[in-house]
Structure 1
Amino acid sequence: MKAYFFSSCHKLLFYIKQPLRDKIPFKKTQFHTNVSAYPYSLILENCKNIQTLKKTHTHVITTGLSNNNILAAKILALYAMLGNLDDANKIREHNSNAFLWNALIGVYARNECCHEALELYTKMRVFGIESDNFTYPLVLKACAGILGLKEGREIHCDIVKKGFELDVFVGVGIIDMYGKCGIFEDARQMFDKMSERDVVAWNAMISGCAQNGCSNEAFELFKEMQLADLRPNSSTLVGVLGVCDIVGGLERGQQIHGYVVKSGCECNAFLGTSLVELYAKCGDIEAAALVFEKMYEKSVVSWNAMISGYAQNGYANEALKLFYQMQFGDVELNSLTVVSVLLACAQLRALEEGKWIHDYAIRSGLELDVFVGTALIDMYSKCGRIDTARQLFDEMPRKNVVSWTAMIGGYSYHGYANEAFKLFNQMQLANVQPNSVTLVNMLLACTLLGVMQQGKSIHNYIVRRGFDLDVSMQNTLVDMYAKCGSIELSCGLFNKMPKRNLASWNVMVAAYRIHGLAKDALALFVQMQQIGIRPDHITFICVLSACSHAGLVDEGRRCFDSMTIEYCITPEMKHYACMVDLLGRSGHLDEAHDFIKKMPLEPDASVWGALLGACRIHNNIKLGEHAANCLIELKPDDAGYYVLLSNIYAAAGRWDSVMKVRTTMKDRGVKKSPGCSLVEINNRVYAFLVGDRSHPQLKKIYSFLEALAVQMKEAGYIPDTNFVLHDVEEEMKERMLCSHSERLAIAFGILNTSPGAPIRITKNLRVCGDCHTVTKFISKIVDRKVIVRDANRFHHFKDGYCSCGDYW
């Protein structure tokens, strides 16, 4: 606060030194020439501490000059500047004229101590000191600062009674107050009443339009102002630029920029920064950079605007480079600089640079700033240091909704959905209201866990609290319902969307894909093209993957060709992986291998992984070994590839090779992730591991499964023990199959839900062939729909059939 007073009091001293300037808010008649006061005026300018000021003040009193308005105002301002408001108030109390009261009210108002300014105004009236046309703009500014419409209206009434309403300074204050309080109509009414309008009045009205979202009115006023032969200044142009990103966007911003160039208007740091911000918001980062480079005067705000523009438009490397230039330019960093640079570090996953910024924040005392702390949480989360992020979050002295959202987002981003739910509950207990980003992150957590009941609860919360269901939020809901197993709800939401963007279509195509509805995905793909929506690289990934999971080889080939020929989209690694998967799954293993050889890119793990998965399906040991060797060379710590190779060997009865794979994994410290299945019942999630022996209903679950096994065998079920990767007796293999996590979860779900209720399971690994067969039998025996989401896709089991048609 002292720093604010220091800045404002310097302004006040500047005004006092130059009393004839038009913008000085004091009456000229209040200044008296007094030669003997001049030496003290010079001495006061050199007072740097409270002790020197008090000595000088004592001399002024003893010489009888304490009633000199100029000296009194200077002394008052210096006391305020040095943080001694008590003595500043004493000077004001010993002077009954409005001049010093106005001076102190101005100090309060300009430094956002609005309540104190209004209290002083009330005292002024109690003491019978008449307010004048310099008092009212100051107290109106204080009303605007606290959005005090009631107080502002009362002051407006007082202004009308005293006949000051048509004073240009007072009129501007009224316009500004109503504009900031959101009462645009009253601001406009006051503006229209004014018989004399200067540039400041027009600026206040344009600013009021911008603040109330009346962008068209702002531009109309800008045109009217020029027709009235008033030359807009930089403040006018900044006000108009402020609404360019609301309507008209880039085109209107370019028009204003053109006016600045043609009119020769001074493009100061303030105006230049506004242009940079506008171009960055509109995505024209090159234009923003050009304006920034040509700015002859750059403030820390200008640097921040450009760094932030780079970071928010995905130019993280450029943001970091500019940050390094900023340091060489001897510009002092502030909290906004740190936040923008941390955003760039988060995008680049640049942990070391992020740590350096963190150290700088600690040294500069910025770490305790809530925005800096939040940016640090986001950076560490994105860089995979979720524990460090949580430690910072717990240590934050102040947390706002953005801080909570960043931590919840970090958990959701890294798949820690349960932790995200726990923190969301803590957030509500702390009486912090979530925002739309918080809720999007929570929907992501629901998606990860596959918990549709909780997803519905979040959806109901969004509707109940009146959150804006914009396109982005609706896309997230469509995705959540699809990935929680309800393609019907997902499709229903998509069909009801009043507006759709490309992401909406991609989400729905992807939804059909994961549910094995390839023909629906292809139909939607055709539909979007027919209405003029141009597919992008993501669309083609979804369509190719849909063809792969349904065995639509010819359709997939045509899709791949159209991507390159018709849409001129250069295939990325994911597209090649989809094609290898498509060919391999359908049994065209040699063609898939040849396709890899002809790729213009060096194949990565996703490509070789697709081939290895296909070799497991078709038991091609030789090609599988080749793919596995390539994979292990690329990712020696990924257990999944060892397991796939082990599966191939086990299916062929090569147990010595299985043991070699296990020995290699052990020697390299590679551990297989255990099978884990989740089931949601009454808004609570239950987890089961393979061979789980810890659940309280364990005996009941295994008894139920044993009874089901008898019924299944009577119905024709024959256990496929090839999926047991251990060289043990057949009876033991059957027991091991019975303890797979999805079977335990399905049994628990049936036992704890009402008859006929669907069972929804989420598994972290691919469903094994035997469990797939068993679930088909179970769905028919217990007359339940069982929906299983594994690592690849959804399986909808009903009446003994699966939606995948046994092709997955």
Structure 2
Amino acid sequence: MSTGEAQWKHRQACCSLMHPQRVFTIRMRLSFNFFLNKSHPSTDGRISHAVTYMHDTCRLFNHTASYKKYDAFSWNVMIREHANSNSEEKEALALTIYSQMQQNGIHADKYTFPFVLKVCANLSALQKGKQIHNHVIRRGFQRDIYVGNSLVSMYAKCRKVEVARQVFDRISQKDVVSWNAMIIGYVQCGIPEETLVFFHQMYLDGEGVLPDQGSFVSVLQACTDLLRGKWIHKCVICAGLEADVFVGNSLVDMYSKCGNIKNARHVFDKMPSRNVVSWNSMIAGYTQNGYLNEALKLFCQMQTQGEGIKTDLVTLASVIPACAQLASLQIGEWMHGYVIKSGFLSDIVVGNCLIDVYTKCRHVESARQLFGNMPKKNVISWSALIAGYVQIGKASETLALFNQMQVLDMKPDAVTMLNMLSACTHLSALQQGKSLHAYIISSGYESEVFVANALIDMYAKCGSLELACLFFTKMSNRDLVSWNSMIAGYGMHGQGKNAVAHFCQLQQSSIKPNDVTFLCVLSACTHAGMVNEGWEYFYCMKQQYGITPKLEHYACMVDLLGRAGHLDEAVRFINNMPLEPGASVWGALLGACRIYSNITLGECAAERLFELEPENAGLYVLLSNIYAAAGRWDGVAKMRTIMKNSGLKKTPGCSFIEVKNKIHAFLVEDRSHPESEKIYATLQSLAVKMKAAGYVPNTSLLLQEME
């Protein structure tokens, strides 16, 4: 037995003969002295024995009837034990012990306050922290650097950064911990500008204090400006910390957030050692900046060259979204297999990411199967699956899934509501949309601008322009999407003048229109036949706002001219386009040729379309109807033959009607509905009444059946 261990045993035996309160104090001192005893052969052994002994002593403290004879050291040890427990329950108990210490007349010292203030910071117990701050002042420790740093940290973590700054300014001799506590406070409160200004002050006039690893890691979190980021990078090099793995990781993350993926990769490649955070930061940087293939390549490289570093949940949460954005089912299935082999399939975050992959690949059945096998689901799981059904146009399934979600008492979030409103818009389900609106109000999501914009769009597309206008008027915070949605709503209802008036109101506001705004205005002019106004706004884009027209704007102008019967002008416009005309442009011209039965021009437009979209059956049907309207049955037969030989079939149209909160879908000549006999009888009765009233249908635009 070593000398240190012999002394330890001897003192333990002596303790058994003393008063419990005295035993407690001696045991506490003994545990810490033994921890520092250099004669013990193993540092790990000293820690293990001391910690075990201290836990036993804590139990002695808790079972002793009277605390009055304990000194400040004993109380401090107990408070420290609970403050460092990483358990909210035990941390709260540290504050209780502190209160008992005060009640027993034991004065807190400079070793007490840092631990109780740490607990207040962790628990966001601002009022208790203020009370302890008063105790600090009364005891005269407000200028102590350790207590002062703890106060700064407490106020900063409780989001009272102004008070934290006042305390910081009163610290007479600041150290790097003081400055770092303040920087972290600014970062946590989401004040990046103040963070950078404060760091600049520290670097240039920090009273001899130089930034350390923690300073750079914290300030880089707040930096989203590339020029400032490069300056901080230079400061890192001057401080000799460019080889530090934590600082390197922060630099990779900073450059990625600033969109400079080249510099991020340069820092990553130059790092002498990397950990899993290094790889995760670089993969996430590639994904966030749209370098999806590079993200997957680096992930594969991590498996083979990662120096024994294992994939974790953050790695998967960074790389799986890249698979989703690539919308490649093969890659998605490969990643799914990797997740299974790695044992991460049961994690809810990974499961949600994989659902998103399958829905982006339009493979919703696989997403549904994965969803059904997940041991735990959250609102993100439901929202991801609902979004998948919305994406492939299965709005009825979306509504059913939402109802199932409510039955299981899973509260939807704002993203869920956004997807549900899209489903109602697709189905033109006004009553369902109104019910969702009521739910949105009761859930407090109406204040979310993107939800409010979806409501405007839903009401307008479901035929209730009045409700869309009313809701838009009541919105307290509008963004550009709000204005665009309203302008588009007026346009689709043929109210071109109101759309233009709304655009003029937008011009008078502080919000600048974008290319989507002008697309909405031009579309409104098209539906209202406002040719002169359309030309005016088309030129206004470039001349007044510097927005270069895109292919969609040119297609809109061709549609405007074509619908108004200015076919020759539309052709000249196409010939003078600086862009290569796409399918949307020629499609607009072909649609105008159908309206005005211009076979020659229609054949020319169709020929270009067949080159661009040879698999689009609708084009053959459209040209066939142009032939039919002109009595060119040979042309109709030719189109039939081409479609038959190519195996093309036009997707049948589908109509939706909402009756008593239930959605009914109908295809052409559909008799699958249980009430189909009554429906067709009613339609026949209406046709008879319309004919009796003198109505003569215009059959010139009637589409011919193409089998």
**Given the two structures, how large is their TM-score scaled by the length of structure 2?**
0.76
Post-superposition offset of 1:717: 0.2
After superposition, the C-alpha distances for 1:79-132 in whole angstroms (9 at most, x for unaligned) are 9xxxxxxx9977987999999999999899778455467789999999x9x999
Equivalent-residue separation in structure 1 for 2:57 and 2:31 (angstroms): 21
Provide the residue aligned with 1:235 in structure 2. 214
Cα deviation for residue 534 of structure 1 reads 4.7
Partner of 2:463: 485
What secondary structure is seen at the aligned counterpart in 1 of 2:376?
coil
Residues 274 and 726 of structure 1, relative CA distance in 2, 3 Å threshold = closer
Tell me the distance in 1 between the aligned counterparts of 2:271 and 2:474. Answer: 49
Higher helix share: 2
Deviations 1:638-685 (A, max 9, x none): 332232233223333455654554454445443333332222344332
2:331 partner SS: helix
Alpha-carbon distance in structure 2 between the residues aligned to 1:193 and 1:286: 43
> Which residue of the partner structure matches residue 19 of structure 2?
none
1:386 aligns with 364
Q: 1:442 aligns with which of 397, 417, 420?
A: 420
Q: 1:516 aligns with which of 475, 480, 494?
A: 494
Q: Per-residue deviation at 1:161?
A: 12
What count of residue pairs does the alignment treat as equivalent? 662
TM-aligned CA distance change 1:428 to 1:274, over 3 Å? farther
1:672 partner SS = coil
CA–CA separation in structure 1 for the residues paired with 2:218 and 2:171: 20
Q: Deviations over 1:459-507 (max 9, x none)?
A: 3333332337244333333322222223333334444545544434433
1:419 to 397, 406, 409: 397
Give the whole-Å Cα distance in 1 for the aligned partners of 2:369 and 2:407.
Answer: 20
State the partner residue of 1:586: 564
Give a deviation string over 1:38-78, Cα, whole Å, max 9, x none. 2xx28xx6xxxxxxxxxxxxxxxxxxxxxxxxx3523577x
47, 59, 68: which is aligned to 1:73? 47
Cα distance in structure 2, aligned partners of 1:105 and 1:395: 46
- For 1:352, the aligned partner's letter is Q
Corresponding residue for residue 368 of structure 1 = 346
Structure 1 residues 732-769: Cα deviation after superposition (integer angstroms, max 9, x where no partner): xxxxxxxxxxxxxxxxxxxxxxxxxxxxxxxxxxxxxx
Q: Percent identity?
A: 50
In the alignment, which residue of structure 1 is the partner of 2:246?
Answer: 270
Q: Alignment partner for residue 620 of structure 2, among 642, 664, 687?
A: 642
2:255–2:264 Cα contact (<8 Å) kept: yes
CA-based RMSD of the aligned residues comes to: 4.9
How far did 1:591 drift?
Answer: 4.5
Q: 1:694-713 maps to which residues of 2 (within 5 A)? A: 694-713=672-691
| Displacement after TM superposition at 1:522 (Å) | 3.5
**Pairing 1:66-465 to 2, within 5 Å after superposition:** 71-74=45-48, 112-115=86-89, 176=153, 179-180=156-157, 198-213=175-190, 226=205, 229-243=208-222, 260=236, 268-278=244-254, 280-281=256-257, 298-317=274-293, 319-320=295-296, 322-323=298-299, 326=302, 328=305, 330=307, 332-465=310-443
Q: Which residue of 2 aligns with 1:652?
A: 630
Cα offset, 1:619, TM superposition: 2.1
**Counterpart contact for 1:171–1:194, Cα < 8 Å:** yes
Contact 2:82 2:94 in 1 (8 A): no
Q: Is the 8 A contact 2:31 2:54 kept in 1?
A: no
Decide whether aligned partners of structure 1 residues 355 and 141 sit closer, same or farther in structure 2, where only a CA change above 3 A counts: farther
| Contact 2:242 2:248 (8 Å CA) reproduced | no
Alignment-derived partner of residue 574 in structure 1: 552
Query: What does residue 17 of structure 2 align with?
Result: none
Contact 2:94 2:119 in 1 (8 A): no
Residue 447 of structure 2 corresponds to 469
Residues 92 and 101, structure 1, Cα contact 8 Å, conserved in 2: no
Given that residues 452 and 481 in structure 1 are in contact (C-alpha distance below 8 angstroms), is that contact kept between their aligned partners in structure 2?
A: yes
Q: Does 1:689 align with 2:689?
A: no
TM-aligned CA distance change 1:318 to 1:413, over 3 Å? same
8 Å CA contact retained: 1:580, 1:592? yes
Match of 1:680 in 2: 658
Moved more, 404-413 or 570-579: 570-579
What 5-or-longer segments of structure 1 have no aligned partner?
A: 1-24, 46-70, 80-86, 728-808
Cα distance in 2 between the residues matched to 1:506 and 1:267: 50
In the alignment, the residues of structure 2 paired with residue 100 and residue 642 of structure 1 have an alpha-carbon distance, to the nearest angstrom, of 90
Amino acid at match of 1:482: A
CA 1:457/1:233 → structure 2, altered by over 3 Å: closer, same or farther? farther
DSSP 3-state at the match of 1:575: helix
Q: For residues 153 and 240 of structure 1, do their structure 2 counterparts lie closer, same or farther at Cα, with a shift above 3 Å needed?
A: same
Q: Report the residue type matching 2:531 in the other structure.
A: V
Equivalents in 1 of 2:139, 2:31: separation in Å? 20
Matches of 2:30 and 2:156 in 1, distance apart? 27
Residues 115 and 142 in structure 1, CA contact (< 8 A), matched pair in contact too:
no
Contact 2:491 2:524 in 1 (8 A): yes
Measured after TM superposition, the shift of residue 146 of structure 1 is: 6.1
Question: CA-to-partner distance for each residue in 1:215-252, whole Å, 9 max, x for gaps?
Answer: 6776786578655554343323444454556xxx7787
* 1:423 CA displacement: 2.2
- SS of the residue corresponding to residue 365 of structure 2 reads helix
Q: Is the 8 A contact 1:26 1:134 kept in 2?
A: no
Distance 2:226 2:438 in 1: 37
Cα pair distance change 1:437/1:699, threshold 3 Å: same
Residue 679 of structure 1 aligns to a residue whose secondary structure is strand
Within 1, Cα distance between the matches of 2:446 and 2:116? 36
Contact 2:252-2:267 within 8 A present in 1 as well = yes
Q: Distance in 1 between matches of 2:199 and 2:540?
A: 50
SS at match of 2:463: coil
Which stretch shows the higher mean deviation, 235-244 or 475-484?
A: 235-244
- Report SS of the residue matched to 1:384: coil
Q: Distance in 1 between matches of 2:57 and 2:182?
A: 37
Q: From 504, 507, 511, give the equivalent of 2:485.
A: 507
Equivalent position amino acid for 1:73 in 2? I
Q: Greater RCO between the two (CA within 8 Å, min separation 6)?
A: 1
Q: Aligned partners of 1:624, 1:691: CA distance in 2, in Å?
A: 29
Q: Decide which of 21, 25, 33 is 1:30's aligned counterpart.
A: 33
Distance 1:692 1:672 in 2: 16
Distance in 1 separating the partners of 2:604 and 2:571: 10
Secondary structure at the residue paired with 2:663?
A: strand
In structure 2, the CA distance between the partners of 1:94 and 1:27, relative to structure 1 (3 Å rule), is closer
Are the counterparts in 2 of residues 112 and 145 from structure 1 also a CA contact under 8 Å? no
The CA distance in 2 between the partners of 1:101 and 1:394, in whole Å, is 53
Gaps of 5+ in 2: 1-27, 63-69
Deviation at 1:364, TM superposition (A): 2.0
Is the partner of 1:686 in helix, strand or coil? strand
More moved, 490-499 vs 289-298:
289-298
Alpha-carbon distance between aligned partners in 1 of 2:199 and 2:188, rounded to the nearest angstrom: 15
CA contact (8 A) 2:83 2:119 kept: yes
